[in-house]
Structure 1
Amino acid sequence: MLTDKFGRQFHYLRLSVTDVCNFRCTYCLPDGYDPQQTRGFLSLDEIRRVVNGFAALGTSKIRITGGEPSLRKDLPDIIAACVQTQGVNNVALTTNGFRLDEQVQDWYDAGLTQLNVSIDNLDPRQFHSITGHNKLETILSGIDKALTLGLPVKVNAVLLKSLTDSGVSAFMEWVKHTPVSLRFIELMETGDNPRFFEDEHVSGQRIQSKLLREGWVSVDRQFDSGPALEYRHANYRGRIGLIMPYSKDFCATCNRLRVSSTGKLHLCLFADEGLDIRDAINHSDPIVLQQRLISLLTQKEQKHWLDERKTGATKHLAMLGG
């Protein structure tokens, strides 16, 4: 089992398969994706080796991220490769939903077990203003298809100060009738957005207090769960989760590592650098990769330093999929 020097065990790999994204979200890529240099993204075979290496060390959950992973034509093959890896029992996908409506059946057929969709506002005009795309209706249609297939769906919404009150109210009404897990995520500062962060960051604690006042009760975390604190209510079909990276002891339950689309291990989303493991990925002996991962994990720090406004190497969230 991958275990760090603080006793935290890592069952969960967030695997980026591209850093390309076709949305222009105001908090991430307001000017769009900038392909300034040639990208050598991990091949399908390299992805198999990465997943096998982590699985051999106890990783049981893989989340495929981007950028936007559906921009890779071989995404169903990537999903299938993860699903077919011995020891992996949960294969999730995070997507902006651009191709969800047309492709969710293919992802399901490949073996996908969980879907996360990013929707920051349920007002079509606000959605377009945030993302640069008028796709809300088809994304919601895609979510309906996923639910019909039996896929558990989580919806990620970044909290923005300018939209919080109206946006939260609309989401709460939607969750009353829609069986999804909606997670409100505090805006995080990255290298490219310090001014935007200063203007738009809002704590999730106000929503947490509102939930508790209105009778929502906490849901026990699973060992491979992400960082959300999740709540349920008897009168709501859906659940509410809160991801509050600026809260006390947020990193104490960290159970996830990240590999970038170019083969770098990131011990934290906000680590100072990615650690190149591509040579180990492509070594003929799979033990070499496993030994490298064990060795590099000794460098993981106890916490991120977001509270000190240190964002490390993360210029924007599309680099690693959050």
Structure 2
Amino acid sequence: MLQDNFGRRFYYLRLSVTDVCNFRCNYCLPDGYQCDPSVERENSLSVAEVGTVVRAFATLGTEKIRLTGGEPSLRRDLVQLIEKVSSTDGIRRVAITTNGYKLPSCIDAWHSAGLDRLNVSIDSLDRAQFHRITGHDKLHKVLAGIDRALALGIDTKVNAVLLREHNLASLSQFMHWVRETPVSLRFIELMRTGDNRDFFASNHVAGADIERHLLAEGWELVPRERDAGPAREYAHRDYAGRIGLITPYSKDFCKSCNRLRMSAQGKMHLCLFASAGIDLREAIRSGDHELVAAQVRSALSGKQASHLLESGYTGATRNLAMLGG
């Protein structure tokens, strides 16, 4: 089992399969993705290399793999990637985080390949506002894809970044939706990155007020699974769905960290806001999963007790698309 110097155990790997994203979210890539997509795909881990990474982590006790981006659905071999992950001994859960752009046309194939967990980013349920935030008028397609995922029995979560100037006034619309829709809706505090300093200053909202409101309205904290993400999740008897809160600026947020990250180029990041990734590509290319596992275990000794977000430190993270947030 992977365990760091602070006694934290790591059951969960967030594995980026591309840096490319086709959305232009105002808090992440307001000017769109800037690099040559063809070059990026050539440098990304291949299906075989992903298999080596996943096998290495599985031998170290990892049980859950989340494929992230950028936007993972832009990989033409995504179905093969899901199949590779889901067929690895020891992996119990296979998840994807997506902007939902291709959900209606792809979710059945992903499910057949072994996907059982889905996270979809929706920062507004108002069509015009969604368009302004993402640069795409595709809310109807994303919601149709979620409906299909639920029909297939896929455990579905929706991520909404809290934005003071863009969606804070419409949180009641989200709450009304969750009353009838069996998803876990997670409100995420906006995180400062290397590229969004001014936007962060004008839009960051702390989740504490929302949490106090939930408790006052009878929502109850749900026990956290050991391979779950960082959300504190609440349930209410009158609602089909749940509400989660991800508050990276809260005290002791990092105390329960259980996840590591791998970039699309084979660099392991001990934290989303680490100063640099640890390059494992040579070991990954060798196909020797035991060598990769040994390097992962050795690197873990360098994991710090906490990020330094509250001090304005953002490490090497220029934008959230780099490692999928």
TM-score, L = length of structure 1: 0.99
Give percent identity, aligned residues only. Answer: 58
Alignment-derived partner of residue 28 in structure 1:
28
The amino acid of 1:215's aligned partner reads: G
- The alignment status of 1:152 with 2:142, answered yes or no, reads no
| Residue-by-residue CA offset, 1:46-86 (whole Å, 9 max, x unaligned) | 00000000001000000000000000011111111110000
Checking the alignment, whether the CA contact within 8 Å between 2:283 and 2:292 is kept in structure 1 is yes
Distance 1:69 1:167 in 2: 29
Q: Does the 8 Å contact 2:49/2:287 carry over to 1?
A: no
In 1, Cα distance between equivalents of 2:31 and 2:301: 37
| Match of residue 113 from structure 2 | 110
Secondary structure at the aligned position of 1:34 is classed as: coil
For the Cα contact (< 8 Å) 1:270–1:314, is it kept in 2? Answer: yes
Which residue of the other structure, out of 118, 122, 125, is the alignment partner of 1:122?
125
Instruction: Give a deviation string over 1:93-135, Cα, whole Å, max 9, x none.
Output: 0000000011000001101010000000000000000000000
Q: Which runs of 5+ in 1 are unaligned?
A: none
Alignment of 1:228-243 (within 5 A): 228-243=231-246
Q: Distance in 1 between matches of 2:311 and 2:148?
A: 42
- For 1:1-322, what aligned pairs fall within 5 Å after superposition? 1-35=1-35, 38-39=39-40, 40-322=43-325
CA distance in 1, matches of 2:187, 2:56: 32
Q: Determine the C-alpha separation between the residues in 2 that align with 1:134 and 1:154.
A: 21
1-structure distance, mates of 2:89, 2:11: 14
Please give the alpha-carbon distance, in whole angstroms, between the structure 2 residues aligned to 1:165 and 1:61: 32
Cα shift at 1:36: 5.7
Measure how far apart 1:280 and its partner are: 1.1
| CA RMSD after TM alignment | 0.9
Instruction: Give the Cα separation in 1 of the matches to 2:119 and 2:77.
Output: 19
User: In the alignment, is the contact (CA less than 8 A) between 1:283 and 1:289 conserved in 2?
Assistant: no
Letter in 1 for 2:313: K
What displacement does 1:288 show? 1.1
Question: Is 1:217–1:231's contact at 8 Å kept on the other side of the alignment?
Answer: yes
Q: Which runs of 4+ in 1 moved over 3 A?
A: none
Q: CA-to-partner distance for each residue in 1:176-200, whole Å, 9 max, x for gaps?
A: 0000000000000000000000000
CA contact (8 A) 1:232 1:240 kept: yes
Q: TM-score, normalised by structure 2?
A: 0.98
Give the 3 Å change call, closer, same or farther, for CA 276–206 of structure 1 in structure 2: same
* Cα distance in 1, alignment partners of residues 49 and 124 from structure 2: 36
Rounded Cα–Cα distance in structure 2 between residues aligned with 1:79 and 1:271: 27
**Contact 2:133/2:166, CA 8 A, preserved across alignment:** no
CA deviation after TM superposition for structure 1 residue 166, in Å = 2.8
SS at match of 1:282: helix
- The residue identity in structure 2 corresponding to 1:33 is Y
| Structure 2 unaligned spans of 5+ | none
Letter in 2 for 1:101: P
Shift of 1:287: 1.7
Q: Give 1:25 deviation, angstroms.
A: 0.1
- SS of residue in 1 equivalent to 2:54: helix
Instruction: Tell me the distance in 2 between the aligned counterparts of 1:298 and 1:219.
Output: 31
The alpha-carbon deviation at position 285 of structure 1 amounts to 3.3
8 Å contact from structure 2 (residues 184, 241) kept in 1: yes
Q: Residue type of the partner of 1:147?
A: L
The 1-side partners of 2:307 and 2:60 are apart by 24
Letter in 1 for 2:178: V
How far 1:164 moved relative to its partner? 4.2
Aligned counterparts of 2:289 and 2:70: Cα–Cα separation in 1: 28
